[in-house]
Amino acid sequence: MHFKLIIALVDEGQTKHILQAARESGATGATVIGSARGEGLSPKKTFFGLNLESQRDMLMFIVEEHLGREVLEHIATIGGFDENPGSGLAFQLDVEDAIGLASQIKALSDDVEDVL
């Protein structure tokens, strides 16, 4: 089986909704790293002229490659990434090798057969 790593950077308040959307699309698990920071095209400022950094969570999903695009698009829709600038972003990368997914591979086999 071949896998994709989907990484989503979202506002803390959206994490629960994005996790649920990923599961609905076929993701079998996730890793959440809290309190990530970043800035977009132009940094947000407060009225004191200080940078305002919103807290984000980094969500990582390892999904079967045939489910990758569906998961990516569904979490982008639920998160409103294209409609609301600064609401989050997601991307996928190829996974060359992975260990520790035996139980998930068994669950994924049936789902992937339906897709193929």
Domains of the chain, by residue range, sit at: 3-115
Beta bridge partners of 63: 4
Q: Tell me the pLDDT of the chain (116 aa) as tens digits.
A: 789 999 999 988 899 999 999 999 999 899 999 988 776 676 666 666 665 667 789 999 999 998 999 999 999 999 999 998 888 999 999 999 888 888 777 776 766 666 55
- Position 103 scores a pLDDT of 78
CATH architecture of 3-115: 2-Layer Sandwich (3.30)
Angle between helices 65-79 and 102-115 (to 10 degrees): 90
pTM of the prediction? Answer: 0.81
pLDDT, tens digit, for every residue of 46-57?
Answer: 666 665 667 789
Contacts of range 25-29, beta carbons closer than 8 Å, 24 or more positions apart: 25/67, 25/70, 25/71, 25/74, 25/75, 26/63, 26/64, 26/67, 26/70, 26/71, 26/108, 26/111, 27/61, 27/63, 27/67, 27/71, 28/63, 28/104, 28/107, 28/108, 29/61, 29/62, 29/104
Distance of CA 79 to the CA centre of its chain: 10
